[in-house]
Amino acid sequence: MKYVVSQRALETMEWECRKFPDAETGGILVGFKDSQRTAITHATGPGPKADRSQHHFTKDTPYLQAVLNLLFQYYQVNYLGVWHKHPLGMPFPSGGDILSAMEEVDDPKMELDKLITPICVMSGSSVEILPFVIAGGRYQPMGWEVLPHDQLVPQAPDAAQWYTTTVGQSRLAQEMAEFEGLGVSPDVRKGNDGTYRFHVPLGTEPSKRMVMLCQGDYPVSPPEVAIYDPKTKKYEPLNSPILNDWNIYQLLGDLYREYQGAALADFSEG
């Protein structure tokens, strides 16, 4: 069996490790199998209510279930495994990791014959991702080919987009209700590439717009957000604590509120 992994999934794991260099952390792996290969399309962090400590982490299971539901509706992808970080001296799965993996493999409801279990180790600020697979009560190193995300995930125009799925439409309604509650009406534009853009006028700087670009797997991937100034025609990327620690329960309206709050604070100080 050949394994392939999305570059974006690797970046998600690296980013999560870099955010928590001194704690154990991890997340799940999602993807699909066909006759030729097993493809890992997405990786997640452990979820906003996860517990991270130096030698242990506990996943936020309801959150991860919600992410799985979204990704299944968008791309018909399923749970394939779990990744986590180890201290540098232990660059392989532990006995405990094998036991918990085998609980899942032996559970007929999970429909897994093996569990992909990468271990990440950090040396300084560099993250090494070591892929393993657990089956039959033991772990084995595995190889995987890294592919650009877009080669693994179906693309527009034929693919369903997040905002056309049932779960995506209810998300979109929730986003719009939140904006309405904030008293703003965004201009919403579909991109030819399957992206969805929200242009929101800024009350504090009336000529400027907050532009939020949602990728095909929004809200699993965070939006890309910039402040657009029509006078200079320049986009300035948003520096946002919410974006840095994004989870699917956050809304675009939260980013707008955060930015306006910071702008008002600057105004009253200045």
Q: Which residue has the tokens 């929730």?
A: 174
Q: Give the span between the Cα atoms of 81 and 101, in whole angstroms.
A: 8
Is residue 220 within 8 Å of 248, Cβ to Cβ?
A: yes
Q: What is the smallest separation between the CB atom of 90 and Zn ion, expressed in angstroms?
A: 8
Q: What are 211's two structure tokens?
A: 């532009």
Q: Is 239 in the site for Zn ion (CB under 5 A)?
A: no
- Strand-pair partners of 26: 84
Q: What is the smallest separation between the CB atom of 26 and Zn ion, expressed in angstroms?
A: 8
Q: What is the smallest separation between the CB atom of 57 and Zn ion, expressed in angstroms?
A: 9
**C-alpha torsion sign, points 110, 114, 116, 119:** positive
Residue closer to Zn ion, measured from CB, 53 or 76: 53
Residue closer to Zn ion, measured from CB, 15 or 92: 92
Residue closer to Zn ion, measured from CB, 94 or 164: 94
Residue closer to Zn ion, measured from CB, 19 or 56: 56
Q: What is the smallest separation between the CB atom of 68 and Zn ion, expressed in angstroms?
A: 21
**Contacts of Zn ion in 63-122 (CB under 5 A):** 94, 97
Q: Is the peptide bond before 206 cis (omega within 30 degrees of 0)?
A: no
Q: What is the smallest separation between the CB atom of 86 and Zn ion, expressed in angstroms?
A: 5
Residue closer to Zn ion, measured from CB, 100 or 165: 100
Is residue 252 within 8 Å of 223, Cβ to Cβ?
A: yes
Residue closer to Zn ion, measured from CB, 16 or 97: 97
How many residues line the site for Zn ion (CB under 5 A)?
2
DSSP assignment of 41-108 equals: EEE--S-TT-EE-SS-EE--HHHHHHHHHHHHHHH--EEEEEEEE--TT--S--HHHHHHHHHHHT-G
Q: What is the smallest separation between the CB atom of 97 and Zn ion, expressed in angstroms?
A: 4
Q: What is the smallest separation between the CB atom of 245 and Zn ion, expressed in angstroms?
A: 23
* Amino acid present at 66: A
Residue closer to Zn ion, measured from CB, 135 or 263: 135
Tell me the residue nearest to Zn ion as measured from the CB. Answer: 97
Residues 6+ apart with CB under 8 A from 133: 81, 114, 115, 116, 117, 139, 140, 142
Binding site for Zn ion (CB under 5 A): 94, 97
